[in-house]
C-alpha cells in the first residue's frame, strides 16, 4: 500500500472507475488503505487469495492473471 502514497486520490478513483470488474471501492486516505468490492464472475476469488501466498511465484502469477481479467495495461485489447 505504500505505493498509493505517491498518487493522489483523484487519480486512483479515475483508474478504479475504468475497471468494470470493480463494483464499489472505498479509499481511506488517513490509513492509506483501499477496500474494493469486485465482481466474482470476472475476478475469481482464488486469484485474490493467491496474491497473499507464501510463494512469491504464485503471487506473481496471480498478479498477471488478475491483470488479464481486468484488462490492465492493454491485456486482452486488440
Question: Which alpha helices (DSSP H) does the chain contain, by range?
Answer: 9-17, 45-51, 56-70
Q: Are 62 and 53 in contact (CB under 8 A)?
A: yes
pTM assigned to the model: 0.66
**What confidence tens digit (pLDDT) does each residue in 27-63 have?**
887 887 889 999 999 899 999 999 998 999 999 999 9
**What confidence tens digit (pLDDT) does each residue in 3-21 have?**
545 567 788 888 888 888 9
- Provide CB contacts within 8 A for 33, sequence distance 6+: 1, 27
**E runs forming strands in 1-78:** 22-28, 33-38
Amino acid at each position: 500500500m505504500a505505493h498509493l502514497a505517491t498518487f493522489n486520490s483523484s487519480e486512483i478513483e479515475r483508474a478504479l472507475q475504468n475497471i468494470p470488474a470493480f463494483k464499489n471501492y472505498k479509499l481511506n486516505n488517513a490509513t492509506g488503505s483501499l477496500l474494493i468490492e469486485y465482481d466474482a464472475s470476472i475476478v475469481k476469488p482464488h486469484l485474490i487469495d493467491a496474491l497473499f501466498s507464501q510463494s512469491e511465484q504464485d503471487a506473481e502469477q496471480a498478479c498477471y492473471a488478475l491483470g488479464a481479467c481486468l484488462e490492465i495495461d492493454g491485456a486482452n485489447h486488440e
